[in-house]
Chains A and B, each alone.
Chain A
Amino acid sequence: MTVPAVSNSSEQLDRARALSAFKLGDATFYWLTRLSALAVLLILGGIILSLIVGAWPAIKTFGLDFLVTRRWAPQLSPSPVLGALGPIYGTLVTSLIAMLIAVPVGIGIAIFLTEFCPPILRRPVGVAIELLAGIPSIIYGMWGFFVLAPFMTDHFMPAVIATFAHVPILNVIFAGPPSYLSLFNAALVLAIMILPFITAISRDVFQTVPPMLKESAYGLGCTTWEVVKNVVIPFTRAGVIGGIMLALGRALGETMAVTFIIGNSFQITGSIFSPGTTISAAIASEFAEADGVHMSALILLGLLLFVLTFCVLAAARLMLARLEMKQGK
């Protein structure tokens, strides 16, 4: 009788020990995961805090004037004059031109892929586009510098400048002389770079349209274009706009694709064929030789860029979330 009793109590002891080990392991793992999740929030806080600390001297020196000053003279004595208007202008103009080119083309490719691409081509073209979205941006920048910019400047720009020379307004936007380093060349490289993003996201959201809806429209006698216009696009509008804003977020913050060919000039000329700069290009090309308030102003530019992209990306995510809710996910 005694033997089973002893084994029974030691068994109970084992069980208690195992249970407490489990409990400890459970709690540890839970807190590890929870802390890691909090670390994500901490990174965001760290980014904002570190940028504000770095930018503080510039904020104190220039205040809100920083946003509206056109002049960028870091070497001026006794004290430098630095204004962000040039880089902000360049960032917005290059992103705008890039979106004007990439959005219609990207959505066109997505429509082609989902609606009337021969099935044999669908996968290879889709995979090719996804792979191209993964190519590092410095490659696009190099290619723009060595191949695209010379070609556009020698062949495309002179023709456009000549065509619009006597049209008011347009002759300012397309004013010469053609320059290898220009806002337009940078915007074109950006457009080519974000094209795969827009295509991939639009294709994915187009594929969420229930086939039943499309087939009903076809059944009523709609042409492919009518199905796209009246069924596919209305159904996925929030998703497509979300995808476009995601691409816009990339275009605004892209550095390496534009730095080589934008010219790093802080002038605002109004012509898209003249050199300019973007926020990220200004930071990348001046950071190495900057110090003091100049350095701080570059960090302030980074803070502005972060705030700008944060707003665009937040809006994009909210729109994409709305689409997901519509699907009942």
Chain B
Amino acid sequence: MNALYASRARKDKIIRVLCVGAAAFGLIWLGLILFTLFSNGLAGLSLSVFSEMTPPPGSRTGGLANAIFGSILMTVIGVAVGTPIGLLAGTYLAEYGRHEKLSFYVRFINDILLSAPSIVIGLFIYGAVVVPMGGFSGFAGSLALAVIVIPVVVRTTEDMLLLVPTQLREAASALGLPRSLVIRRIAYKAARTGLITGILLATARVAGETAPLLFTALSNQFWNANLMKTMANLPVTINNFVQSPYEYWRQLAWTGALLITLAVLALNIFARLLGAERKSK
């Protein structure tokens, strides 16, 4: 009997060690990535990164100003286009069509789009926008990002609206408010921080997207605010610079990677803090 106990205890101990080992293994890799990113990225961080354009081949000066601007512009437009559609669709799922057949299909398809490969979204916008318009453009890039934003916002909106107690809606309806006002004035207000969290997470998701921009916005060596032309952006610039033979380009790629990661982490942490605040209320 004691031998059985001992073997059970031994097995338990082995598994515990393996699990701790797994945690250490995972965290070490991830720590290594952040360490490399910071040590290589900080080395190239200077004011000129923000003030100068991306350098031509061989140049030893230059920055990422046009790429940073293009990334911010396309992300903002993508989020601005995708958010209203996502919010309204999420509202339909949570408020009007909670038990309808249509909602079931929309929810299912939305969940699949949520994790669909982003390169396919890029090909879709290439075929649907770039080819008919006759060329790569910042506009097409923004649309590709919008298509990625929509499923994220739909999902969080539905989840957050479902958390709003039904009694609140019933109380508003009892006062004679029509359905649309109940949703807009009561449900949205009650779920506000949750909705903002969703939008922030969607922004973080698209800020680092590279694959869809390769076939839509392409890149541009110069400053460009015209949405109808190719537009520089950080991820594609990094993609082009990483594999280059020029030391300076690779340095810029690391710096750009650090900037993107910091932006994405900041958005994520901000969203999380908002979420935590809501819970503590």
Contacts and interface: CB of A to CB of B under 8 A. Distances in A.
Interface stretch (B52-60, B113-121, B220-228): B113-121
B45 interface: no
Contacts of B1: none
Interface centre among B20, B123, B179 (most CB of A within 10 A): B123
Contacts of B204: 134
Contacts of B102: 37-38
Interface string B40-63: 100000000000000000000000
Interface string A109-153: 101110111000000010111111011111111110111000000
B261 A143 contact: no
A255 interface: yes
Contacts of A29: 179-180, 183-184
Interface in A170-202: 192, 195-196, 199
Contact of B239 (A35, A104, A132, A138): A138
B248 interface: no
Given A33-B92, A134-B268, A39 B120 contact: no
B235 A138 contact: yes
A47 B127 CA distance: 9
A30 B123 contact: no
Contacts of B151: 40
Interface stretch (A71-79, A267-275, A299-307): A299-307
Interface residues of A, number: 89
Contacts of B106: 37-38, 40-41
Nearest to A280: B119
The number of chain B residues touching the other chain, given as a range, is: 35 or more
B106 to A, nearest CB: 5
Interface string A26-49: 101110111111111101101100
Contact of A136 (B112, B115, B264): B264
A289 B178 CA distance: 57
Contact of A30 (B25, B96, B210): B96
A256 B26 contact: no
Contacts of A162: none
A226 B111 contact: no
Interface stretch (B7-15, B72-80, B163-171): B7-15
Interface string B147-176: 100110010000000000000000000000
Given A109-B26, A142-B242, A314-B108, 7 more contacts: A37-B97, A44-B109, A108-B23, A112-B23, A136-B264, A255-B118, A309-B115
The 5 closest A-B CB pairs, nearest first, are A136-B208, A253-B117, A108-B22, A36-B88, A29-B180
